[in-house]
Amino acid sequence: MAADKINQTAFSINRKLLPAFVIVMVFLASTGLANICLGGHIYWFTGLFMGISLYLLSLLLIYLFFRKSGSRLSRWFVLTSTTFLLILFTEAMLRIIMPATSGESNRGFFVSPYFIRIGKQYLHLPPSNSEKKIHSCEFNYVFHTNSLGLSDKEHPQYKAEDTVIIGLGDSFTEGVGAPADSGWLKLTEKYMAGSGERGLHFINAGVGGSDPVYEYRLLKERLLDYHPDLVVVTLAYDIEDLICRGGYSRLDSTSPVRQKPEKWWIPLYGMSYIFRSFIHQFTSFNHLFLNPEEYSKARKEAVGDMILCCNLYKSLAFEKGFRLLFVFCPLKHEVKNGRFDDWEPVMNHLQKIEIPYVDMLAHFTASGMNAENLHEYYWSIDEHLNSRGYYLFAEGMIPAIDHELKKQTAYERPETSPRTR
């Protein structure tokens, strides 16, 4: 009799708490899914929320199946709760022991390399006329975007006698890792203007997370109105970007960005260190979640896409009458290794089509940068250049840009140009 009374009381209480129970479960699950699907960001609490929601769902199903049998209900509740606590403890220990990804260490969240944050835009640009906060665990800087969405001042239409230089690239061109006035483009402009160069104007068209395909579209559709004399294209992470996003064929001005498909379990990798340890232990996937065979194939395709981009840039330069200069910016591990991972075939192609380039790794090495003093030029965790690194970058760019500007223009500017000389 006493047991029946207890079960009846528990059943009555559970029925009253059921709506709140379901609401909490739905809230936690929807919050976790919103992080993954909308923002692409998986924080430490995303997996926790999803785990708790699954735990609550399990308790709800157990209650619905065994609510009339108090003893079985109690046993299943204890078993499920014990299993959940064991998983939670294991997950916490692995998070202490295992190294985090660079994004987790630097920004506090995991994001798939295949996730395209800009969604339906086919130009990789942040909002125009806005404040752009550059945040990492090592620095915090604020940039301001102009009407084009570029981290630069508003540029007017310059006079025919002025010289306009456009810098294209990703975060290394934008100047992430230093104050807004200390990127290599700004430092180069200050030096060359202070050396008596009159009417020299630099446009910073570097956008964090961009790649040569986005940059080509940006140049062609938004920046040619400035009638540049020289366009500088800086390459850094771009081969991996092209591996994850595809080449020029991914863009169509009339439709959204066509994102390359990713493995279905990558969000689970971001949420669970238990699952992550399984992937690391029993598979050969690399940081792009590709096995050696897949990576080798994707890398060759990306190099081919990059070579196609070089040809597109040259054709546009010929059509519009500006000079072209490529710059190869080494990543931190490439300086340590003393060589580029992927750029040699692209450099060879540029030589073949007679497009000049700057090997910034050679300049860094000649200037005394090495594995022992990397921390003086690159941020330790974020791995972008710091102010001193960008200063050294600018030192390498000044003679290269000066050399290109002193050359006789390779292509005549079309007569229709407002800045025809």
Per-residue pLDDT tens digits for 30-47 = 655 555 554 567 888 887
282, HSE (Cβ side, Cα atoms, 13 Å): 6
- 355-395 pLDDT tens trace: 999 999 999 999 999 999 999 999 999 999 999 999 999 99
3-class SS shares of the chain: helix, strand, coil, % to 5: 55, 10, 35
pLDDT band at residue 195 using 50, 70 and 90 as cut-offs: low
pLDDT band at 19 (very low <50, low <70, confident <90, very high): low
CA 304 to chain centre: 21
Q: Read out DSSP for 278-319? A: HHHHH----TTS--HHHHHHHHHHHHHHHHHHHHHHHHHHHH
> Which pLDDT score is estimated for 326?
98
DSSP letter assigned to residue 385: B
What pLDDT, on the 0 to 100 scale, is given for residue 40?
A: 62
Give the model's confidence band at 246: pLDDT under 50 very low, under 70 low, under 90 confident, else very high.
confident
Mode of pairing for the β-strands spanning 230-235 and 140-144: unpaired
8 pLDDT band (50/70/90 cuts)? very low
CB distance 230 to 197 below 8 Å: no
Report the range of poorest mean pLDDT among 61-65, 138-142, 266-270.
61-65
Sign of CA dihedral 116, 117, 122, 123: negative
- Looking at per-residue confidence, does 53 or 384 come out higher? 384
The rounded mean pLDDT for the chain is 84
Mean pLDDT value of segment 137-161 = 92
> 95 and 48 in contact (C-beta within 8 Å)?
no
Report pTM: 0.84
Q: What is the pLDDT of residue 401?
A: 95
> Tell me: the pLDDT tens digits for 273-301?
999 999 999 999 998 999 999 999 999 99
Backbone angles phi, psi at 57, to 5 degrees: -65, -40
Higher-confidence residue of 199 and 207: namely: 207
Distances in whole angstroms, Cα of residue 85 to Cα of each of 31, 88, 149: 21, 5, 47
> Is the pLDDT assigned to residue 231 strictly greater than 60?
yes
Phi, psi of 6 (to 5 degrees): -65, -45
> Which residue from 302, 146, 175 is spatially nearest to 234, judged by alpha carbons?
175
Residue 133: strand pairing partners: 142
| Cα–Cα separations (whole angstroms), residue 245 to 251, 261, 332, 420 | 10, 9, 23, 38
All domains of the chain in start order, with CATH:
2-97 (no CATH), 131-406 (3.40.50.1110)
Sign of the dihedral defined by the CA atoms of residues 87, 90, 94, 96, in that order: positive
Q: What single DSSP character describes residue 152?
A: S
Q: Name the pLDDT band for 263 (thresholds 50, 70, 90).
A: confident
Relative to beta strand 357-359, strand 230-235 is unpaired
Query: What pLDDT does residue 65 have?
Result: 82
pLDDT at 257 over 90: no
Write out the E strands in 40-171.
131-135, 140-144, 163-169
Task: Determine the Cα–Cα distance for residues 328 and 358; give it in Å rounded to an integer.
Answer: 6
What was the pLDDT predicted at 161? 85
